[in-house]
Structure 1
């Protein structure tokens, strides 16, 4: 009975291929990314910093759109719409949002070295709106929104 329950109670590491010790040596090894430097996976701190920069920027643009009224009841909806649009457009065109650029991150496809594209950028942003997929991560630290779209947030410099 212990082995039967251990297969699903062991957590996300139970799904990893068995190596010498059963775990990958570093985050991103299973998907072919380097351990450090450009192209390596980033941690939660840099992700959160990029999100805060993007959100504050969207808030500033939204206040300008609403005519400087920061207490307008529509402000939160406009902030979300601006953040969404900026995210889709910039990830499609440049593979990073302004906040990700500031902290040295970019969105990369893990299957091919090609741009992310509009479909993946749009899908990724839709999943980010719900905030649950980015909070659930795998053993590499990739959010479920990145796994669903075949992307990863990596260091650009």
Structure 2
């Protein structure tokens, strides 16, 4: 076997840029969305969910309703418009690694993991969170 062929997890060479191993460009359309855009997009989505929740509930119910609205919006908007409202406002799309339509199961799995928070703050050298790795998706610039 050639010495340059990775055989174990630790044998992989570092990526020159996020998305290189996925065949994505370094910059521009279809490049991996960076952490600043991602953070702002989730803040926009959470803020919108919070506004809606406050319009329909008060007290302790607001927290659970905010989480529910946030989750439903992710599951509905990812397969229909290619991402959440925050993603789209900031010029990003959630796409499956295999290409084609993202389907219904990917947004559901991705969102269930997203609301757990921990998978979101753990990511790889391609800047894909655990929620994206499990769902087989990547957040790219549109």
TM-score, shorter chain, exceeding 0.5: yes
Alignment-derived partner of residue 124 in structure 2: 138
**Corresponding residue to 1:62 among 53, 72, 80:** 53
Q: Say whether 1:29 aligns with 2:16.
A: no
Residue 149 in structure 1 maps to residue 135 in structure 2 = yes
Question: Is the partner of 1:138 in helix, strand or coil?
Answer: coil
C-alpha deviation, 1:123, in angstroms? 0.4
- Give the equivalent residue in structure 2 for 1:87: 74
* Partner Cα separation in structure 1 for residue 48 and residue 101 of structure 2: 24
Query: Residues of 2 paired with 1:81 and 1:24: CA distance?
Result: 36
**Cα-to-partner distance string for 1:70-117 (whole Å, 9 max, x where unaligned):** xx22110000000010110000211110011111111011112x1211
User: Does structure 1 retain, via aligned residues, the 8 Å contact 2:15–2:125?
Assistant: no
User: Looking at CA atoms only, which structure, 1 or 2, has the larger radius of gyration?
Assistant: 1
Aligned length: 135
Q: Please tell me the root mean square deviation across aligned C-alpha atoms, in Å.
A: 1.5
Query: Do the aligned partners of 1:95 and 1:115 also contact (CA within 8 Å) in 2?
Result: no
Given the alignment of the two structures, is residue 97 of structure 1 paired with residue 84 of structure 2, yes or no?
yes
Classify the secondary structure of the residue corresponding to 2:139. Answer: strand
Which runs of 5 or more residues in structure 2 are unaligned?
A: 1-7
Query: Does 2:33 match 1:42?
Result: yes
Q: What is the TM-score when the length of structure 2 is the normalising length?
A: 0.89
2-structure distance, mates of 1:73, 1:64: 14
Which sections of structure 1, spanning at least 5 residues, go unmatched?
1-7, 17-21
